[in-house]
Amino acid sequence: MLNSTRISLIIVVLVALGGNVFAADDMLVKKNAAVKFAALPAGVVFPEGIAANPYSGDIYVSTFDFGGNNKILRFGKNGKLQAQRDFGVEPLLGLAFNSQDNKVYICNPAALVGGQCRIQRIDAGFDETTTVEEVALIPIIGPPPDRVVGNPDGSQDLIEFGNNAAAPNALAFDSAGNLYVSDSFQGAIFRIDDAANCSACPVTTVKHDGLLATAGFPPFGANGIALGGDEAVLYVANTGDDRILMLDLATGEIEVFAESINGADGIAIDATGHLWVAANQADQIVVLNEDGRVIAKLGEFLGIRSDGSARGLLFPASILIQGKWLYTTNLALPLTPAAGDEPEENITKFTVSRIKIPINVE
């Protein structure tokens, strides 16, 4: 039993450490750190997309595995695996839950493995045999217009974009059930109207613009998307340009909302209008206010556990806000050509993390 002297000493030590404490497996627990929510089954790697069923609390995760073992996974709100559905060689990206038909919609960029890019859906309570429905094929519209970039000396640079394939990456539903889709390679935003009530659905091009493409790194342009509170504006992450863009859906005007977010990937908007961004190259979650100013940075990479999983965040890809928690997939995808220079190369167990949303940024 601890006596009062020992309790006082422990309190002094904790204060001296700024509130940091050590937990199992030598993990340093820090304020606003990400903690493990769920682990993927053995042999299932590179979690990318994420969505939630607000009614059941289930969390859905898709995988982006060029090794050919792709799945959509369903976890309970306690982090336990409930079901998995195999997609084989076709890597998967963004997910979105649709309350109108109780189904999970899926970005399938199958052109990356020789197939055809499309949007699919599956019943929210799926098991390993549930039918995957085809929703729409992503049209090939070619590269976006050239982008002219001004320099401080008054000169200009011209970026000409090529195009090899479509790449549907992220999804967002509006309140009417229309589904917005970002395309990272074609530099486009598409829309599928009343998605729950169609198959072989027509696809409308909302915006095709050089700001939605990239010549940067990682080589993905338009990525995470989120609708503003009044649904007049669509926010779009451009991963390779480290930017958040703002698209006026009434006028079609697009502009830069925030700069220098290292690997801006998945995004989400909370009830107060703050925009949460997964900065995949910084291993952080960045929070922006309504003016695009950074008001918080949460989470970080804290090393690798003895079981081969990441402590904290490692290449956070997609995010969602569910209650008082923010959930994110640790994609942990090695991207640089030199072997041995990325911690992602040492990950053998892949995870989903979550961060308790601090009161001061709610």
pLDDT 10s digits, 320-360: 999 999 999 999 999 987 777 899 999 999 999 999 998 76
Residues 6+ apart with CB under 8 A from 258: 243, 244, 275, 277, 288, 292, 293, 294
Distance, in Å, from the CA atom of 68 to the CA atom of 86, rounded to the nearest integer, reads: 10
User: Would you state the structure tokens that stand for residue 276, as one six-digit string?
Assistant: 């949460």
Closest C-alpha to 87, from 107, 106, 72: 72
The reported pLDDT for the residue numbered 6 is 40
Which segments of the chain have a pLDDT < 50?
Answer: 1-28
The reported pLDDT for the residue numbered 30 is 63
SS3 212: helix
Domains of the chain: 23-361 (2.120.10.30)
Q: Confirm if 74 and 49 have CB atoms less than 8 A apart.
A: no
Q: Which residues pair with 276 in a beta bridge?
A: 268, 287
For residue 12, the 8-state DSSP code is H
The reported pLDDT for the residue numbered 338 is 74
